[in-house]
Structure 1
Amino acid sequence: MKAVVFAGAGRVGLADVPDPVLREPTDAIVRVQRAAICGTDLHIVGHPGQLPEGFVLGHEFAGQIVDLGDGVRGHRHGDRVLGADFTACGTCWWCRRGDHWECAERQFFGTGSVFGPPLPGGQAELVRVPFADTVLRPVPADVSLDAAVFLGDTLATAHVAVQRAGLRPGDTVAVIGGGPVGQLTSLAAQACGAGVVILVEPVESRRHLATIEGALAAAPDDARALVEQNTDGRGADAVIDAIGGQTGLTMAFDLVRRRGTIVSAGVHTEAWSLPAGRAFADELCLRFAIGDPMRHGDEIAGLVRSGAIDPTVVASETIGLDDAPGAYRRMAERRTLKSLIRL
């Protein structure tokens, strides 16, 4: 089968690789009909570490089940499904609590051994899915595969960030970063009762998309003034960092009000000095969030089915699998927002 693979630091390629096969009774094989390229994909390709050359990339996928292990009970051959971006057993103490990310059986599709034992990804014609009853979710008949592919990570991350923020109706929310997660976080905040949503982003085209989709937008240097203008100088009730790292967290602390909440949904790989004195004096709440469609899948699908959120607005181009290496380059150069792959 054809697959998008890691080809060395900063590079991806297209290769013929062996078809996946069932290894456990709880496995399924999915024929991938939609995949997407994520900022996490770009990050691991640029900082490979535990990613071997030739490894199949990608963790956002949707398609049709073509083979099932004997232990799979919740799915049938031919079902349309979307995959979570990581696996969980579904039965351990953590999974029973809905904390699938903490499961000892966790594997993250397409990222080598960065987040657990390696598991080939979904930017391929076929993908093996362990613990299929837990990891795969049915795609409702009234949800397109173009939309469904974003429920497994991008929208799941945006949704949980908004939930962790504990919004009250009418709250002012600042979202740092206008990439795909930031854009969908803005939409999720609006759908879940926020008043003014302000998206902070240096790229003008991304600010323009945010305004079309109902937010206010500001370049980083203008963000504080716009937040203060809309809150009588108090600061945002909640700030959601959708980029990660020192830049996002530092800006979040600059924009949040006293007794406000900061949620970081960006990937963090470096140390950061918490301004503990201010956090204590202002009674700030700092939380981190990782999307989990296994826990929130019904809520996310409901937002899409109702029309409250259209996740396809972040797909700035639609390509075939053969063009994926070029799409990686365009995304890395910030010429595109997110690439949707149709197989």
Structure 2
Amino acid sequence: MLKEQTEPVELTETLVVPATMRAAVYRGVNDVRVETIPVPEIGAGEVLVKIHTCGICGTDLKKIHTGSHSAPRVFGHEMAGTVVKVGEGVSDFVVGDRVMAYHHIPCGECFYCRKRTFAQCETYKKVGCTAGFAPSGGGFAEYIRVMDWIVQKGLVKIPDGVPFEQAAFIEPVNTCYKAIELLGLQNDETVLVIGQGPIGILLAALAQRTGATVLTSDLYAERHAIAAKFGLDRPLDARGDVVAAAKAATGGRGADVALLAVGGDALIRVAMDAIRPGGRVMLFAATQHGEAPFDPAAVCMDEKTLMGSYSSSVAINDEVARLVLEGYGNGFDLTPLISHRFPLEDAVAAIDMASHPQADSMKIVIQP
């Protein structure tokens, strides 16, 4: 097991950074290779970060397996590490700072930003962190270049004593927190979270923090056991009739909200059937285009709402950072969600494991 680092690194402005580094390079559909590539150069307003921990996200896997993006690239965006070089004009960060970096930050001025739909902003869709090649996050490498607009609004300092592993959850927690905010949960509501992988557990834990009653559904008892560590003590066996179980738990009405935290369009119908008239279904993992049948009368006559949430929200960056960083050791330790840690040289095996989740696999991280 790799040793976690929680203490600040003693470095100087004259730190020597190598010319080359190791990286897991995407070369085409289902083709990732660990290679030696140049360490990216930084410019004015930018910083270079040495990666300590980077989680593997489902969106990384989708890109690798579908060929949705051109090659070569280095993916990975749930990342935390240490600043090892700063560009001209950077005043808020110094060499040795422990940080996490968002890879998307919106412009704050366009139509979509004014409507607080930040993920649709054209600047947001640009990626501001790279290990080289087309910017794609870059966390599956030893070093990343963090561009100026990310340094200004999307680089978060990690306090001493908080592990990099905890800080690497800030970006995924933001995406989940955004979804919970959009739902506007009330403390007399019952929420069904379908799927108890790491994202499902985060969604369920955040929903429970609002005071709502949370039901969790998954195929694996092992995942329910991990969810129980977060106070999620109303498990439903996904091999059974989840709709009937949700109704039984709510006096026959159905849940007020269903959160779909796994892919699979067939589960949209399950979620819609599991909620009461006037309830809401939140799609969180439906990130591939296609067609998914559902009963339109359930939306019209039963007044059920089908909604979605995608990516993070800059409006809650500060709140989420406080939650995650102050939560370590104070009831919101997220490191138990990590089931496997791989060195960078074994990145291909890490990606393969994440692509074929098992009962005992949760968040998988790469640690250069």
TM (norm. structure 2) is 0.83
Partner residue of 2:367? Answer: 342
Question: Displacement, 1:71?
Answer: 4.6
Residues matched between the structures, number: 335
Q: Deviations over 1:86-140 (max 9, x none)?
A: 243455554466543222222247899xxxx743521111111221212212223
CA distance 1:85–1:274, change in 2 (3 Å): farther
CA distance 1:67–1:96, change in 2 (3 Å): farther
Instruction: Establish whether residue 318 from structure 1 lines up as the match of residue 337 from structure 2.
Output: no
Matches within 5 A, 1:37-52: 37-52=56-71
CA distance 1:38–1:225, change in 2 (3 Å): same
SS at match of 1:17: strand
Opposite residue 201 of structure 2, the aligned amino acid is Q
Task: Decide whether the 8 Å contact of 2:127 with 2:135 is kept in 1.
Answer: yes
Instruction: Establish whether residue 288 from structure 1 lines up as the match of residue 308 from structure 2.
Output: yes
Question: Displacement, 1:45?
Answer: 1.2
Instruction: Establish whether residue 201 from structure 1 lines up as the match of residue 226 from structure 2.
Output: no
* One of 250, 253, 257 as aligned partner of 2:272: 253
Instruction: Establish whether residue 175 from structure 1 lines up as the match of residue 200 from structure 2.
Output: no
Opposite residue 104 of structure 2, the aligned amino acid is F
Question: Displacement, 1:267?
Answer: 3.5
Q: Deviations over 1:54-84 (max 9, x none)?
A: 4212111111222333354543333221112
Instruction: Establish whether residue 123 from structure 1 lines up as the match of residue 140 from structure 2.
Output: yes
Q: Which sits farther off after the overlay, 62-71 or 277-286?
A: 62-71
Partner residue of 2:76? Answer: 58
Partner residue of 1:222? Answer: 241
Opposite residue 313 of structure 1, the aligned amino acid is P
Instruction: Establish whether residue 78 from structure 1 lines up as the match of residue 101 from structure 2.
Output: no
Q: Deviations over 1:10-63 (max 9, x none)?
A: 23221111111124x3432211111111122222111113231x4212111111
* One of 327, 330, 335 as aligned partner of 2:353: 330
**Residues in 2 aligned to 1:185 and 1:298: alpha-carbon distance in whole angstroms:** 18
SS at match of 2:298: helix
Task: Decide whether the 8 Å contact of 1:62 with 1:83 is kept in 2.
Answer: yes
Opposite residue 286 of structure 1, the aligned amino acid is L
Q: Deviations over 1:279-320 (max 9, x none)?
A: 121222222112325322222233331434222222101222
Task: Decide whether the 8 Å contact of 1:263 with 1:286 is kept in 2.
Answer: yes
Instruction: Establish whether residue 148 from structure 1 lines up as the match of residue 148 from structure 2.
Output: no
Q: Which sits farther off after the overlay, 71-80 or 141-150?
A: 71-80
Question: Displacement, 1:9?
Answer: 2.2
Partner residue of 2:255? Answer: 236
Opposite residue 49 of structure 2, the aligned amino acid is V
**Residues in 2 aligned to 1:314 and 1:202: alpha-carbon distance in whole angstroms:** 17
Partner residue of 1:2? Answer: 22
Instruction: Establish whether residue 275 from structure 1 lines up as the match of residue 292 from structure 2.
Output: no
Question: Displacement, 1:334?
Answer: 1.3
Instruction: Establish whether residue 135 from structure 1 lines up as the match of residue 154 from structure 2.
Output: yes
SS at match of 1:159: helix
**Residues in 1 aligned to 2:186 and 2:319: alpha-carbon distance in whole angstroms:** 18
RMSD (Å), alpha carbons: 2.5
Question: Displacement, 1:187?
Answer: 1.1
Partner residue of 2:32? Answer: 12
Rg comparison, structure with higher value: 2
Opposite residue 211 of structure 1, the aligned amino acid is A
Question: Displacement, 1:247?
Answer: 2.6
Task: Decide whether the 8 Å contact of 1:84 with 1:293 is kept in 2.
Answer: no
TM (norm. structure 1) is 0.88
**Residues in 2 aligned to 1:247 and 1:111: alpha-carbon distance in whole angstroms:** 36
Question: Displacement, 1:251?
Answer: 1.9
Q: Deviations over 1:158-204 (max 9, x none)?
A: 21121112111142111111222111111111222222x11222233
Identity of aligned residues (%): 30
CA distance 1:291–1:309, change in 2 (3 Å): farther
Consecutive unaligned residues of structure 1, counting only runs of 5 or more, are none
SS at match of 2:122: coil
Matches within 5 A, 1:109-120: 118-120=135-137
Opposite residue 86 of structure 1, the aligned amino acid is H
Matches within 5 A, 1:99-110: 99-105=117-123, 106-108=125-127
SS at match of 1:158: helix
